[in-house]
Structure 1
Amino acid sequence: MDRQPIQVIGGGLAGTEAAWQIAQAGVPVIFHEMRPQRYSPAHHTEHLAELVCSNSFGAMASDRAAGLLHEELRQLGSIVIAKADEHSVPAGGALAVDRGQFSQDLTETLSSHPLIDFRREEVRKIPEGIVVLATGPLTSPDLAEDLHRFTGMEYLSFFDAASPIIVGESINRDIAFLASRYDKGEAAYLNCPMNKAEYLRFREALCQGEQTELKDFERETAKFFEACLPIEELAQRGEDTMRYGPLKPVGLSDSRTGDRPYAVVQLRQEDKAGQLWNMVGFQTNLRWGEQKRIFQMIPSLENAEFVRLGVMHRNTFINAPQLMQATLQFRHNPQLLAAGQLIGTEGYTAAAAGGCLAGINAARLALGKETVTLPNTTMMGSLFEFISSASPKHFQPMPPNFGILPELGEKIKNKQERYGRYRDRALGDLKNWCSQL
């Protein structure tokens, strides 16, 4: 029997995962991506699942929130995590990827799938039938307006930003040193050390640096997302704020001298060849000329060559608690599903997780089956339960974290042991859930 194709709109991480899950269930997909016909302010390539900020999917260890989400997605056959594993680059305890190879491979894999009709076109109106919206936080204006008409609500907004990327050979290795924190795992970060005087001069320059002006409507409607603050915003919050955040020196020492710096700027490898390095935690709204001037004050980056400077843009998301079910279906139209940052989940892995569940449920609708929710003891299940049931008044994007999981039956003081128990419960419950599908 010929089935009506499901339409997936948006070729980011969520849309890519959703299209894959639907096709793997034997249901045809029309997969829409507007690039290269039209680019968002944050994208630079036409490839699927382009990583526009960091190249890291977060901690790999399964007793960390991101790592547990990785393991859950592996159990569910995630194409995004499979390709991330395949194209991983050294990043200490994090799952980071060669972003070019990662995105290109996903583009080739999905565009060659026999059940995926990949169309490079902009969708300006929500189609009829079963649809997965995965247009991300920078949905094109026409489609955003149609979604506004459908929901009757304005978008919520916050500001997000991407960190600069530096050419590896322009980094002064006489100063920068390779090390992992507490010498744990592979030494995958280049560390640029600062003494107190250097740090204070750098902080003062950040506080006084000229920023890109925000438009009036952006000032009025948007705010910073606390998990992704611009480095200059951190600098302005206090003298030591950066030293307790992205510039913390704890657990790092230069093996050449044995000294622990007063502050450290860390660089994470971007590609497998080690030719490109990302400034960890340096998302910024500084003007590009100011970025070069101020960031070259960092010891070892005095001659840094930037292949990408930091950018900042407004992200938008819907008020999911008022609109969404934990199945990722809209309450007022169960044939319309959504996933990714559009619904207020934060981070690459969470976007892939949303695409995974939205794809599974879209396929189940097409096959005449009931839609499903994941056990709330899993990181995925608790995340989607949260975004569908949180207080609508103060809703803000939520990353995966152990604080949203239901408590264990007993109190465990040791955090690592407690998180390990959360992991064991989640993966066991997910395995049982999968066996009953």
Structure 2
Amino acid sequence: MTHDIHIIGGGLAGSEAAWQLAEAGLAVKLSEMRGSGSTTPAHHTDGLAELVCSNSFRSDDAERNAVGLLHAEMRALGSLIMREGDAHKVPAGSALAVDRDRFSDGVTAALSAHPNITIVRERVDTLPDSPAIIATGPLTAPGLAEAIGAETGKDALAFFDAIAPIVHHESIDMSVAWMQSRWDKTETKDYINCPMTKDQYLAFHAGLIDGEKTEFKEWENVPYFEGCMPIEVMAARGVDTLRYGPMKPVGLDDPKTGRWPYAVVQLRQDNASGTLWNIVGFQTKLKHAEQVRLFRTIPGLENAEFARLGGLHRNTFIRSPELLDPTLRLKARPGIRFAGQITGCEGYVESAAIGLLAGRFAAAELRGEVLAPPPVETALGALLHHITGAAEAETYQPMNVNFGLMPPIEGRTKKADRKLLYTARARDALAGWLAG
């Protein structure tokens, strides 16, 4: 088998990188260990670009939200992940949520049918000698992780990531729950809302604190990522923390009372047919029996049947600002690039975006061209700069894309206008980069 470049890992980043390279006319070998007898603690299928946590790509608002802006920039660059996300979206208000199975099937079918891509189901335990992109994600197999550590001389950092449970819709009591928006953000009624009184909330909070958790002694002193915090860890921060977080009742009028409940549990559609709904923000490390017992105390979920219960797994990432150059090449071995969550970005879209950039950088290099990084004023450029240019490598942590990664808007501006100014500036910067 001959190929121009080897991509290791068929998740969101590896799939996007493979697509970008193949569309540029280069021959790609894509190695994915799932389907070869190997798997991970978080995956459930052999499909490429499987979504293992939420089914949401978060906000699709390209005018006022940094991740929505990233969506728009990726669409402008021919992203396969965004194409399939748009093709398989499910109702979620202003967010882009997808039917996870159809989305993965769509990505797998597109890559399998591309004449420039060869998919090989195999586990890779050593660093390739040929040009390569390592996009093995946060659950890199031990052999390859050891090879990366041996090459870089640096220990991989690690953090915990948690998975939310999924409920069968037919088991939700809609005489108690009601449909409305995500808090008070839109007029659409895409979320199921389960109301709680003060007493019910306090009892639930106590159950989270006292419930039996899964122990991971070998992972002690490993930090949680703030964007995917187990709900019981949030609960331990204070009795009202959840009421200002995933259980916030703001703008949600219970049709039975006409008032906001004391707290609300929200569920979001997880597949196109609407038969599965995930409990938003309820990532957890509670033991499975404890989850069933406690989550069935939520009004409307007393008879809930779970398609999947929550879980916890370990994520690893490299100290990218120290190890990678501005085009994601490993400084010690420039023939190898890294992409996706293993670089320390966080989130589905962010992972795919770094895969997109890695693929484009590699394609340019293989053609004897030079591709400058996108401007830091763009969402793509700001995220890339965080990964490869953050000043404090020792304290480097995973990050979602956000306006704080971009240079501040110059001059005095109204706070209400600032996000619009960021996105307008980003569109101009991206257009200039593409034209150059």
Length-normalised TM-score, structure 1:
0.97
On the 8 A contact 1:3/1:27 being kept in 2, the answer is no
Amino acid in the other structure paired with 2:33: M
Distance 1:382 1:414 in 2: 21
Give the fraction of aligned pairs with identical amino acids, expressed as a percent.
49
2:39 partner amino acid: Y
Deviation at 1:183, TM superposition (A): 6.4
1:20 is aligned to: 19
Aligned counterparts of 1:133 and 1:347: Cα–Cα separation in 2: 17
The alignment covers a number of residue pairs equal to: 432
2:404 corresponds to which residue? Answer: 403
Tell me, yes or no, if the aligned pair for 2:3 and 2:29 is still in contact at 8 Å. Answer: no
Deviation at 1:308, TM superposition (A): 0.3
| Partner residue in 1 for 2:109 | 108
1:419 maps to which residue? 419
Which residue in 1 is equivalent to 2:196?
Answer: 194
- Which letter does structure 2 place at the counterpart of 1:393? E
1:337 deviation in Å? 0.7
Deviates more, 1:388-397 or 1:336-345: 388-397
Shift of 1:67: 0.3
What are the equivalent positions in structure 2 for 1:55-204 lying under 5 Å apart?
A: 55-62=55-62, 63-180=64-181, 181-182=183-184, 184-204=186-206
**Contact persistence 1:335–1:362 (CA under 8 A):** no
Gaps of 5+ in 1: none
Matches of residues 321-340 of structure 1 in structure 2 within 5 Å?
321-340=321-340
Kindly provide the CA deviation profile for residues 393-413 of structure 1, in whole angstroms up to 9, marking residues without a partner as x: 211101100001001122223
Read off the aligned partner of 1:321 and give its amino acid letter: P
CA distance in 1, matches of 2:53, 2:360: 27
SS at match of 2:40: coil
CA contact (8 A) 2:151 2:332 kept: no
Aligned partner of 1:77: which letter? G
Which secondary structure state, in structure 2, belongs to the residue aligned with residue 30 of structure 1? strand
2:3 and 2:228 map into 1 onto residues whose CA distance is 40
SS at match of 1:157: strand
How many angstroms apart in 2 are the aligned matches of 1:279 and 1:304? 11
- SS, match of residue 74 in structure 2: helix
Code of the residue aligned with 1:340 in structure 2: it is G
Unpaired segments ≥5 residues, structure 2: none
- What SS does the corresponding residue of 1:182 show, helix, strand or coil? coil
Q: Which residue of 2 aligns with 1:207?
A: 209
CA contact (8 A) 1:42 1:313 kept: yes
Q: Structure 1 pair 43/29, CA: closer, same or farther in 2 (3 Å)?
A: same
Matched, 1:341 2:321: no
Partner of 2:262: 262
Name the amino acid aligned to 2:275: Q
- The CA deviation at 1:255 is 3.0
Who is 2:252 aligned against?
252
Q: Which moved more, 1:239-248 or 1:249-258?
A: 249-258
Cα distance in 1 for partners of 2:89, 2:400 equals 22
3-state DSSP of counterpart to 1:191: strand
CA distance in 1, matches of 2:160, 2:187: 33
CA RMSD across the alignment: 1.2
**Given that residues 8 and 19 in structure 1 are in contact (C-alpha distance below 8 angstroms), is that contact kept between their aligned partners in structure 2?**
yes
Spell out, residue by residue over 1:179-238, the C-alpha distance to the aligned partner (whole angstroms, 9 max, x if none).
01326132100000001000000000110000001133x114x11111211001111110
Residues in 2 aligned to 1:194 and 1:316: alpha-carbon distance in whole angstroms = 37
Does the Cα contact within 8 Å between 1:3 and 1:366 map onto a contact in 2?
A: no
Whole-angstrom distance in 2 between the partners of 1:132 and 1:215: 33
1:148-169 Cα deviation digits (max 9, x unpaired)? 1111111101100010000000
Tell me by how many angstroms 1:273 deviates: 1.2
TM-score (norm 2): 0.97
**Deviant stretches of 4+, over 3 Å:** none
